[in-house]
């Protein structure tokens, strides 16, 4: 698809709406237990990047779904993709009000990469279609519907800094989290989330104690630095490049590096956006085959 065709999907229209599906970054992810149904109990500090997928929604004669963007083709054969599931589930709640819609997804984020692309797309579909169809759902019904689509969908619906507990559905805003200058890097090897959880050796790890480290140091970077992603060791078994990405981000000046979600995307936090952009350019020069993106994350007070 050409860039002008691309633009036309998002051009201002009297009756269409657009939504951003921002990349989700797990600044910390602690696995604290496991439920009887196999799902893991997590403590997560989550923020959102200013890069992501884009979705457009237009009234149409019949339902349609089109894709563009660097990773659009990778989704083309996926009839069960989360955008369509979100549309269908929301329509069940709405009935006759839910007229046919042409949904366009510009897929800018790599697939199965630990930064919530699919979950953020599903959440953006719920937001966009509620606007297009001129309806809303009670908060509890909406939260239930989002969770049906995936454990990360409720937090992607919020799309602002938060702590999520349970399997991801117990959400608390973090209004004092600052924005961070960041580089995201992914070796373009998809990771299966269930497989990473299956390989996890210890399922009862210490909880996230941000309040304690924050009151001791008053410093978010130190608090984040002292936290972990418990999924990183099992993900490294599947994708050894994860260790290499961390080393490279550090060599280019990252203050903290860590994997997001179940991987393989890793982030580095930098002191300034200029430093992040320079590091991203250098990393891209060294590994042109990787996904590398400099980004500023949301602040809690946005
Ligand atoms: O909910 P979602 O479809 O995103 O989860 C994908 C898979 O990841 C689940 O089927 C489960 O194996 C694993 N998972 C888990 N505990 C969580 C979230 C996901 O074990 N809290």
| Cβ neighbours of 115 (radius 10 Å) | 28
- Ligand 1 site-directed mutation target among 34, 194, 200, 263, most atoms within 8 Å of CB: 194
Q: What per-residue confidence (pLDDT) applies to 4?
A: 47
Q: Please report which helix (H) or strand (E) contains residue 4, including its range.
A: helix 3-8
**pTM for the whole thing?**
0.94
Closest residue by Cα to atom 14, ligand 1, is 39
10 pocket-lining for ligand 1 (C-beta < 6 Å): no
Between CA 39 and CA 220 the distance in angstroms is: 29
Could you state, in chain order, the average pLDDT of each consecutive group of 10 residues for the chain (302 residues)?
51 79 98 95 97 97 95 80 96 91 96 93 98 94 96 96 96 95 97 96 90 80 95 97 97 98 97 98 98 96 72
Q: What per-residue confidence (pLDDT) applies to 258?
A: 98
Q: What per-residue confidence (pLDDT) applies to 120?
A: 97
194 pocket-lining for ligand 1 (C-beta < 6 Å): yes
Quickly list DSSP for 215-233: HHH--HHHHHHT--BTTHH
Burial class (CB in 10 A: 0-12, 13-18, 19+), 84: middle
112 pocket-lining for ligand 1 (C-beta < 6 Å): no
Residue pair 239/114 in contact (Cβ under 8 Å)? The answer is no
Name all domains of the chain by residue range, CATH numbers in brackets. Answer: 3-173 (3.30.230.10), 181-296 (3.30.70.890)
Q: How far is CA 14 from CA 17, 58, 98, in A?
A: 9, 10, 18
Q: What per-residue confidence (pLDDT) applies to 5?
A: 47
85 pocket-lining for ligand 1 (C-beta < 6 Å): no
Closest residue by Cα to atom 11, ligand 1, is 194
- Ligand 1 site-directed mutation target among 197, 204, 235, 262, most atoms within 8 Å of CB: 197
Residue pair 91/126 in contact (Cβ under 8 Å)? The answer is no
Q: What per-residue confidence (pLDDT) applies to 211?
A: 77
Residue pair 191/264 in contact (Cβ under 8 Å)? The answer is yes
DSSP state letter for 127: H
59 annotated as ligand-binding: no
> Which residue's structure tokens are 């809690």?
300
Closest residue by Cα to atom 21, ligand 1, is 167
Q: What per-residue confidence (pLDDT) applies to 57?
A: 98
Between CA 60 and CA 102 the distance in angstroms is: 6
> Which residue's structure tokens are 């549309």?
87
| ipTM reported for the complex surpasses 0.90 | yes
Contact partners, residue 48, CB within 8 Å, separation at least 6? 22, 23, 24, 25, 159, 160, 161, 297, 298
* Percentages of the chain per state (helix, strand, coil), in multiples of 5: 35, 25, 35
């Amino acid at each position: 698809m050409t860039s002008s065709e691309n633009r036309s999907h998002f051009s201002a229209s009297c009756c269409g709406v657009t939504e951003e599906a921002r990349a989700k970054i797990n600044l910390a992810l602690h696995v604290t237990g496991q439920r009887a149904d196999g799902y893991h109990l997590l403590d997560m500090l989550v923020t959102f990047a200013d890069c992501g997928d884009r979705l457009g929604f237009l009234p149409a004669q019949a339902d349609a779904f089109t894709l563009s963007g660097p990773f659009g083709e990778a989704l083309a054969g996926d009839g069960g993709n989360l955008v369509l599931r979100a549309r269908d589930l929301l329509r069940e709640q709405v009935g006759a009000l839910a007229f046919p819609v042409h949904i366009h997804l510009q897929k800018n984020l790599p697939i199965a990469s630990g930064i919530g692309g699919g979950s953020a797309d599903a959440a953006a579909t719920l937001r966009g279609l509620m606007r297009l169809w001129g309806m809303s759902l009670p908060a509890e019904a909406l939260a239930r519907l989002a969770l049906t689509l995936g454990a990360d969908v409720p937090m992607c619906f919020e799309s602002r800094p938060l702590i999520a507990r349970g399997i991801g559905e117990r959400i608390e805003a973090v209004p004092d989290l600052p924005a961070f200058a960041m580089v995201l890097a992914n070796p373009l090897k998809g990771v299966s989330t269930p497989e990473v959880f299956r390989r996890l050796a210890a399922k009862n790890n210490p909880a996230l104690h941000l309040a304690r480290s924050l009151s001791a140091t008053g410093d978010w970077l130190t608090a984040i630095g002292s936290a972990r992603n418990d999924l990183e060791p099992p993900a490294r078994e599947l994708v050894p490049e994860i260790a290499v990405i961390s080393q490279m981000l550090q060599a280019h000046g990252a203050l903290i590096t860590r994997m997001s979600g179940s991987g393989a995307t890793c982030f580095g936090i930098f002191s300034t956006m200029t430093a992040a952009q320079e590091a991203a350019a250098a990393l891209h020069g060294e590994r042109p085959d990787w996904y590398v993106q400099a980004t500023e994350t949301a602040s809690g007070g946005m």
